[in-house]
Copies of this chain bind each other. A is one copy, B any other.
Amino acid sequence: MTPSKPVRTAFYVSGSTAITAETLGRSMLTQFSEYNFRQVTLPYLQNPAQIEAAVLRIKLAAEEDGSRPIVFSTLTDPLLLKELRRSEALVLDLFDAFLVPLEREIGQPPTLKSGQSHAVRDLNSYRIRADAVHFAMQNDDGARTTYYDQADLIVIGVSRSGKTPTCLYMAMQYGLYMANYPLTEEDFDDLRLPKSLLPHQHKLFALTIGADRLEEIRQQRRGGSRYASRQQCDMEVRAFGALISRFQIPSLEVTEYSIEEISSRILAKTGLRRRLF
């Protein structure tokens, strides 16, 4: 939080996980830089007493902040939503805004069941996800290279370029079989690919990162070490760049990106088909 800005509270209110309300609300709030938004998630509100308690919390936040809170809601029960609208807040209900045009288009009333999108544990997608997460864990950090024939993609990069979180995110969200392999100093000596990667060149995808950022991340991890030194980071970044250019390995420059953005860009660049939606 930037201390100089006034604080305003945003509530995410839902009859279920509140993931949808959070995702949209956060997107919206990043469009307004005037406030520091304090974010409060209130999931699983399913009866009038729970709504009443939420309305009270909203009122207290309004008093504390000196401004109306902003409430992003995905309540599907019209009575609960009506109660919520009594609160001293700007209440933006996502279903309210979109269900009416959708109903008109589709010609069928909505089921109004709460939280369908994150609640359904369909056995097949559960298995796809669990298997993909398992694969990512077993094939993390070059630990094992014998299953690379089953991998959808093998992510390569220098240490601390974001390979592990990217692979796990892509496994979890897309159900893809993601392996990753770290390239280290020794691999750069002769500008060759490690032997275990050679048979899988077509599956390689490189994460590149600026030396500045790499140094920053490594200093946080092992401050003052040779590993984290500017010279070492410079060398690895340069050598890795030469290697992927030599072998024409597709790559993404990740310095400015979050894990979500890295993952969705890799998906778009490679054209891999996700197994989960």
**Which of A79-87, A112-120, A183-191, A198-206 faces chain B?**
A112-120
Indicate whether A227 reaches chain B with its CB closer than 8 angstroms.
Answer: no
**0/1 per residue, A162-198, Cβ < 8 Å to B?**
1011001100100000000000000000000000000
Check A217–B92 contact: CB distance below 8 A. Answer: no
**0/1 per residue, A97-120, Cβ < 8 Å to B?**
111011001111011110111111
Q: Which bracket fits the contact residues of A?
A: 35 or more
**0/1 per residue, A19-45, Cβ < 8 Å to B?**
110111011101111110001000110
Q: A34 contacts which of B24, B43, B106 (Cβ < 8 Å)? A: B106
Chain B residues near A17 (CB-CB < 8 A): 260-261, 264-265
Q: A18 contacts which of B34, B123, B137, B264 (Cβ < 8 Å)? A: B264
Q: A264 contacts which of B43, B108, B260, B268 (Cβ < 8 Å)? A: B43
Check A105–B70 contact: CB distance below 8 A. Answer: yes
With the chains together, A30 CA to B76 CA distance in Å?
A: 12
Chain B residues near A254 (CB-CB < 8 A): 121
Indicate whether A247 reaches chain B with its CB closer than 8 angstroms.
Answer: no
Check B257–A31 contact: CB distance below 8 A. Answer: no
Closest-CB distance, A49 to chain B (whole angstroms): 16
Chain B residues near A121 (CB-CB < 8 A): 254-258, 261
Q: A32 contacts which of B16, B18, B111, B123 (Cβ < 8 Å)? A: B111
Check B255–A27 contact: CB distance below 8 A. Answer: no
Q: A20 contacts which of B27, B107, B116, B133 (Cβ < 8 Å)? A: B27
Chain B residues near A106 (CB-CB < 8 A): 32, 34-35
Indicate whether A90 reaches chain B with its CB closer than 8 angstroms.
Answer: yes
Within 8 A of B (CB), among A43-91: 43-44, 68, 70, 74, 76, 90
Chain B residues near A243 (CB-CB < 8 A): none
**0/1 per residue, A237-269, Cβ < 8 Å to B?**
000000000000000001111111100110010
Indicate whether A230 reaches chain B with its CB closer than 8 angstroms.
Answer: no
